[in-house]
Amino acid sequence: MEQGSTHATRVTIERLGHRGDGIAAGPVYVPDALPGEVVEGAVQSGVIAAPRIVTPSTDRVAAPCRHAKACGGCQLQHASDDFVAGWKVDVIRRALSAQGLETELRPIATSPRQSRRRAAFSARRTKKGALAGFHRKASDVVVAVPDCILVTPALAAALPLVEALAVLGASRKGELSVLVTDCASGLDVAVSGGKPLDTALRADLAALAQDHGLSRLTWDDETLAFKPAFQSFDGIDVVPPPGAFLQATEAGEQTLRAGVNAALEGCTHLVDLFAGCGTFALPLAKRARVHAVEGEAAMVRALDQGWRQAQGLRHVTHEARDLFRNPLLPDELKRFDGVVIDPPRAGAEAQIAEIASARVPKIAHVSCNPVTFARDCATLVAAGYRLDWVMPVDQFRWSTHVEVVSALSLQD
């Protein structure tokens, strides 16, 4: 087959790639295609950009969102829920198998529709006002998504606010990025890419924040309007700094937290590595002493304030520390009987090596990248740990992204 061919070519999809594209022999990449489907179209540079489905898969469904064809926010709305769940579990299974690991894979927990509590909207000024939404697939064109079924209703209703922010503060040529988080006290909004602040813009933005009842409005690094933008971690109120890491859905957070609790059952002195604002550390302090370690000082301060204002928690100590450059060493780790670790996508190779050397009895490992997760687990297994179980967690419904929570225990 000629990769630059423009005549119609018929191919059979063999598997899905990591971006959700169907892949046929060649390889030929086919967006929005599913394994087993026969598709036809012109091949350009190894891609059939506009495929015609000749033989559809029994797993093909009508996309539940009317924006699915244009919006780049979701990649897998054309596939059944059962297919997506099975595919994501297989992604984890293959990553473990590549490292020679086998374990119990628990049923996947998928967050419901309209549950994403944070969204990064894009907005541009237009001749008539502004346009806000998500990017078109493989494009920087903004697509309006007035009834997105992925985000919470409060976020879906925030598009007029995002457009108003663009009218006030976007340049005619630039794009505004607006991170909106759903809080109990109102929307928490962090804007980047806008005009420099001056007296008039500050006043206009403050008035807009008041009109829309915002919990907080941050313009680049300056907070213009603020009342406590609380997030509740198992009933413990914390005010994260603007744009701080937050689990994508409340349901997903609860599932991860339950998994962490199960993995560390019986532990009384815990260390939480990459602790963020205390998603796991603070609830764990209901039953154990906790030392929380996080690289971002602002998140550590938020965690500490949340602990000090809560009732009934055991002692929580903390430190701001770059765990990539300066991981906790075995002599620091040996006083703990359990570890929580939830690193970024790159994993935590250096820190995992120190945990393995310290031989901490129990580990709750949370990860957003099955490949680096499996790599790090292989290091621990080689050092004498058993990978007891892994639970897939899908907070990013209809996307190619999947997370895990798992339990490891040191073997005598």
SS3 for 174?
Answer: coil
pLDDT in tens, 304-333: 999 999 999 999 999 999 999 999 999 999
**How would you label 84-120 residue by residue, b for 16+ Cβ within 10 Å and e otherwise?**
bbebbbbbbbebbeebebebebbebbbbeebbbbbbe
pLDDT in tens, 223-274: 987 888 999 999 999 999 999 999 999 999 999 999 999 999 999 999 999 9
Q: What is the mean predicted confidence (pLDDT) over 93-120? A: 97
Check whether the bond before 27 is cis (ω within 30° of 0): yes
Distance CA 14, CA 167 (A): 47
Residue 25 CB coordination number (10 Å): 10
Q: What is the mean predicted confidence (pLDDT) over 168-174? A: 89
| Res 5 pLDDT > 70 | no
Which range (82-91, 166-175, 261-270) has the least confidence?
166-175
pLDDT in tens, 219-236: 998 998 788 899 999 999
CB 240 within 8 A of CB 302: yes
Kindly report the average pLDDT of the chain as a whole number. 95
Token code pair at residue 176: 């505004």
Q: What is the mean predicted confidence (pLDDT) over 44-70? A: 94
CB 68 within 8 A of CB 24: no
Distance CA 123, CA 134 (A): 8
**Of the residues 71, 74, 277, 368, which is catalytic?**
368
| Res 6 pLDDT > 70 | no
Q: Where are the alpha helices (DSSP H) in 116-187?
A: 153-156, 159-169
| Res 213 pLDDT > 80 | yes
Distance CA 281, CA 291 (A): 8
Give the pLDDT confidence score for residue 1 in this predicted structure. Answer: 45
Global confidence as pTM: 0.94
Residues near 81 by beta carbon (within 8 Å), at least 6 away in sequence:
110
Q: Which residues pair with 409 in a beta bridge?
A: 362, 386
Give the pLDDT confidence score for residue 235 in this predicted structure. Answer: 96
pLDDT in tens, 342-355: 999 999 999 999 99
Question: Is 71 assigned a catalytic role?
Answer: no
Share of the chain above pLDDT 70, in %: 99
Distance CA 164, CA 366 (A): 38
Residue 213 CB coordination number (10 Å): 11
Element (H, E) at 375: helix 370-382
Residue type, 256: L
| Res 402 pLDDT > 70 | yes
| Res 2 pLDDT > 50 | no
Distance CA 203, CA 161 (A): 16
| Nearest of 399, 76, 110 to residue 251 by alpha carbon | 110
Residue 172 buriedness (CB in 10 A; 0-12 / 13-18 / 19+): exposed
Distance CA 324, CA 329 (A): 12
